[in-house]
């Protein structure tokens, strides 16, 4: 029995997504809802971690800011491509649906496999490490403090979801408010300090690496493409999908550029490059240890909110895979009493804990998780971008309310950017990147085994 068709998959995805089970999504999201969702997904705890890594791979104030401006531009180019795909094919399956429609079931299966073993679980481990780094600023637990906190967070939030406990609207709003408050405080603190003289980051740095810098930048911008998954639920999709993407990316870019300007003003590029918790270091200079504790608490809460959401949604995707695949049928078990897919949650948690172990081995938990997820993420992002060209050729008469301007130059540019970042994430073949590629490759024999 082969992998099911896209309609089967869409039903299972819709049945297992978010907090309500429905095989027929309702168009209940307004433009403002969609913009808020995009901004909420993208602006996570990563912006408190990646600026230090970007500074260490660029080296001057101007190049740091330029990297974040370019990141906004790249995201806008990608959003143009996604706007056409989402308005032409509004579907709860999002990327899965585009890949299945353009390339067939095999590529779609590998995408689902990659989300289960690399992208989603890697994101959980990455967020857990952000939490660990900032929790360690409040209460250090020794040489492996960040990893201990990371593993503990994964276990606790997996168990919470296994018990069937869901975050209420009030808790979720509080976590989002804490995240925004943290960003505002960092910006104000950075601008309120006397500032440091412009300088190059010479310590702990050998040479400029724009490829790695853009990987870290676009990791922080990542998530706007999740708009594809709400395309079937937004009102007036012909108009509002594109608008939500453009408004969302504009707001995100403005905030990111402002906060990096604040970091540079308060710490300088060298101070950023040598920081393990850049927001905490900035607040230490502005308000002393009390500022460190306060901002570290806010960042930790922000990371936990994002981690919980990623645990929740990742398990639902794995449940859908179990419904559709013979090889992973055990994941397709839904416990009605707890109203949650317990096997999918437990497997996801176990994989994420293994990835924390990988971070311990390399002694660079956050960076290793970026390396682990980046090649796989950019590979499938490249395939989604190219699917726009494929689908235009396969279905030339398909109508759409939004067309990519300057076609085919725009999608070709986006694909070129994705290919460059895929190359940059693989060129040095570090442990994390190699592990991610091997894990995805293991999905190929699994695909053919289940079809026997």
pLDDT of residue 415: 94
Of 350, 356, 344, 354, the C-alpha closest to 161 is: 344
pLDDT above 70 covers a percentage of the chain that reads: 80
pLDDT (tens digit per residue) in 385-428 = 999 999 999 988 887 778 898 999 999 999 999 998 888 888 76
Cα–Cα distance, 218 to 223 (Å, whole number):
9
pLDDT of residue 7: 43
Residues 6+ apart with CB under 8 A from 109: 3, 325, 443, 447
Cα–Cα distance, 381 to 368 (Å, whole number):
20
pLDDT (tens digit per residue) in 267-314 = 888 888 888 778 888 888 777 878 878 877 877 887 887 787 778 767
Q: What is residue 371's DSSP assignment? A: H
Which domains does the chain show, CATH number per domain? 28-450 (1.20.1740.10)
pLDDT of residue 328: 78
Q: What are 112's two structure tokens?
A: 């689902």
Q: How many residues does the chain have?
A: 452
Q: How does 81-115 read in b/e, with b if 16+ C-beta sit within 10 Å?
A: bbbbbbbbbbbbbbbbbbbbbbbebbbbbbbbbbb
Are 338 and 88 contacting, i.e. CB atoms less than 8 angstroms apart? no
pLDDT of residue 421: 84
Burial of 438 (0-12, 13-18, 19+ CB in 10 A): exposed
> What is the pTM for the complete model shown?
0.74
Q: What are 435's two structure tokens?
A: 């592990």
pLDDT above 90 covers a percentage of the chain that reads: 13
Are 237 and 96 contacting, i.e. CB atoms less than 8 angstroms apart? no
pLDDT (tens digit per residue) in 82-114 = 889 988 887 756 787 889 899 988 898 899 889
pLDDT of residue 18: 40
Query: What are 340's strand-pairing partners?
Result: 335
Average pLDDT over residues 430-438: 81
Average pLDDT over residues 61-78: 90
The whole-chain average pLDDT of the chain stands at 78
């Amino acid at each position: 029995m082969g992998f099911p068709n896209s309609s089967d998959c869409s039903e299972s995805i819709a049945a297992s997504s978010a907090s309500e089970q429905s095989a027929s999504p309702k168009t209940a999201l307004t433009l403002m809802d969609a913009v808020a969702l995009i901004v909420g997904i993208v602006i996570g705890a990563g912006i408190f971690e990646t600026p230090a890594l970007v500074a260490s791979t660029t080296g001057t104030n101007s190049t740091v800011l330029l990297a974040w401006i370019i990141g906004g531009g790249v995201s806008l180019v990608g959003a143009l491509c996604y706007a056409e795909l989402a308005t032409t094919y509004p579907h709860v399956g999002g990327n899965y649906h585009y890949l299945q429609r353009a390339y067939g079931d095999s590529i779609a299966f590998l995408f689902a496999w990659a989300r289960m073993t690399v992208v989603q679980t890697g994101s959980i481990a990455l967020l857990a490490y952000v939490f660990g780094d900032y929790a360690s600023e409040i209460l250090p637990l020794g040489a492996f403090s960040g990893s201990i906190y990371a593993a503990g967070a994964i276990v606790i939030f997996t168990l919470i979801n296994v018990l069937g406990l869901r975050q209420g609207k009030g808790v979720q709003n509080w976590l989002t408010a804490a995240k925004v408050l943290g960003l505002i405080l960092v910006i104000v603190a950075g601008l309120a300090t006397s500032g440091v003289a412009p300088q190059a980051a010479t310590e702990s740095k050998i040479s400029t690496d724009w490829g790695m810098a853009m990987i870290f930048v676009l990791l922080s911008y990542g998530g706007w493409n999740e708009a594809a998954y709400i395309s079937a639920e937004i009102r007036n999709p012909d108009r509002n999908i594109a608008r939500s993407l453009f408004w969302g990316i504009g707001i995100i870019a403005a905030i990111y550029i402002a906060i990096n300007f604040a970091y540079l003003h308060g710490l300088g590029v060298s101070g950023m490059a040598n920081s393990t918790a850049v927001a905490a270091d900035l607040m230490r200079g502005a308000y002393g240890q009390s500022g460190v504790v306060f901002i570290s608490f806010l960042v930790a809460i922000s990371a936990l909110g994002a981690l919980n959401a990623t645990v929740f949604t990742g398990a639902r995707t794995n449940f859908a895979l179990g419904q559709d695949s013979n090889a992973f049928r055990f994941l397709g078990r839904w416990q009605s009493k707890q109203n949650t897919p317990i096997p999918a949650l437990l497997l996801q948690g176990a994989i994420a804990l293994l990835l924390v172990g990988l971070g311990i081995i390399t002694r660079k938990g956050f960076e290793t998780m970026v390396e682990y997820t980046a090649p796989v993420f950019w590979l499938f992002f490249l395939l989604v971008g190219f699917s726009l060209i494929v689908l235009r050729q396969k279905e030339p008469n398909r109508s759409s309310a939004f067309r990519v301007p300057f076609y085919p130059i725009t999608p070709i540019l986006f694909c070129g950017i994705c290919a460059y970042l895929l190359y940059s994430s693989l060129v040095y073949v570090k442990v994390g990147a190699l592990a991610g590629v091997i894990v995805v490759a293991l999905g190929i024999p699994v695909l053919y085994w289940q079809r026997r």
